[in-house]
Structure 1
C-alpha cells in the first residue's frame, strides 16, 4: 500500500507523516483490503477546504475532512496485481484543531479520527442513516484503539463520537 502525503503549504500537523501512513494502512487492513492500494492524503488550509466544500458539497464553510473516492479495492473487474487508486482524503488541520476541544480530545486525537473517518469513506462507508453512522463509528473506534495500543497508549481511553453525524449540513 502506498500513501502519498501532500502538504505543499507546509502546514503544522499534530502527528508525523509516518503516522499518517500507518493510520491509513490500519484502516485498510481492518476493512480486509489486501491488494496494493494507493491513497493520497492532502493537507490544506481552511480557505482551500472551504473552496472544496463549496464546490463539491454546496456548503460554503470549511470542514475537517473530505474524501474523494476513485476505485474500489474489492472491484473484481480491475486487473489483479495492479495497485488500486483508492482516492483522496483531504484534511484541514486548523479546523481539526479548533474542533478538538468540543469533542473532548487533543488535536492529535481528532486528526487521527478524521483520517480514519475519511479513509472509511473511500471504502464506501457512510453515515447518512443512523445504522450506517453506528457501524462507521464502531469501526473507527476499533481502529483507533488498535492504533493507540500499538503506540503504547491506553486503548481503553480512546473515545469518539457521535462525530460522524452531519445534523447541520
Structure 2
C-alpha cells in the first residue's frame, strides 16, 4: 500500500504522517483489501476546500472532508498484478479543528474520524440514505475504537458525532 500525502500549504495536519499511513493500512486490512493500492491524502486550507466543494458537489461553502474514488478495491476486472489507484481523500484541518469541540472531540480525534470517513467512501460506503448512514457510522465507530486500542487509548472514550447526510448540505 502506498499513501501519498500532500500538504502544499504546510498546514498543521492534526495527526502525523505516520499515523495517516497507519490508519489507512488498518482500514484497508479491516475491510479485506488484499490488493496493492495507492491512496492520496491531501491537507488543504479552507479556501481550497471551499472551491473543491463548490466545483465537485455544487455546494458553495467549505467542508471537512471530500473523497474521490478512482478504482474499486474489489473490481475483479482490473488485473491482479497492477496497483489500484483507490482514490483521494482531501482533509481541511482548519475546519476539522474548529468543529471538533462541537462534537466533543479533540482536533486529532476529529481528524482521525474524518480520515476513516473519507477512506470508507473510497471503499464504497455512503450516507445519503438513513440506512446507509447507520451502516457507515457503525463501521466508523468500530474502526475508531480499534485504532484507539492500537494507540493504547481507551476505546470507550471514542466520541462519534451524529449521522451524516448529504441532503442537508
| Range class of TM-score, shorter chain | over 0.9
What is the aligned partner in structure 1 of residue 150 from structure 2? 150
Question: Please, which runs of 5 or more residues in structure 2 have no aligned partner?
Answer: none
Distance of 1:165 and 1:43 partners within structure 2: 23
Distance of 2:27 and 2:160 partners within structure 1: 16
Cα distance, 1:167 vs. partner? Answer: 4.9
* CA displacement, residues 24-65 of structure 1 (integer Å, 9 cap, x when unaligned): 111111111011010000100000000000000011111000
What is the aligned partner in structure 1 of residue 24 from structure 2? 24
Superposition RMSD in Å: 0.9
Distance of 1:69 and 1:60 partners within structure 2: 21
The correspondence of residues 114-133 of structure 1 with structure 2, limited to 5 A, is: 114-133=114-133
The answer as to 2:63 corresponding to 1:63 is: yes
What is the aligned partner in structure 2 of residue 88 from structure 1? 88
Distance of 2:24 and 2:132 partners within structure 1: 20
The answer as to 2:99 corresponding to 1:99 is: yes
| Segments ≥4 residues shifted beyond 6 Å | none
| Inter-CA distance 60–92: structure 2 relative to 1 (3 Å threshold) | same
| Paired positions, count | 169
What's the TM-score, normalizing by structure 2? 0.97
Cα distance, 1:13 vs. partner? Answer: 1.7
Question: Please, which runs of 5 or more residues in structure 1 have no aligned partner?
Answer: none
What is the aligned partner in structure 2 of residue 45 from structure 1? 45
| Inter-CA distance 154–25: structure 2 relative to 1 (3 Å threshold) | same
Secondary structure (helix, strand or coil) at the match of 1:147 reads helix
What is the aligned partner in structure 2 of residue 14 from structure 1? 14
Distance of 2:58 and 2:107 partners within structure 1: 27
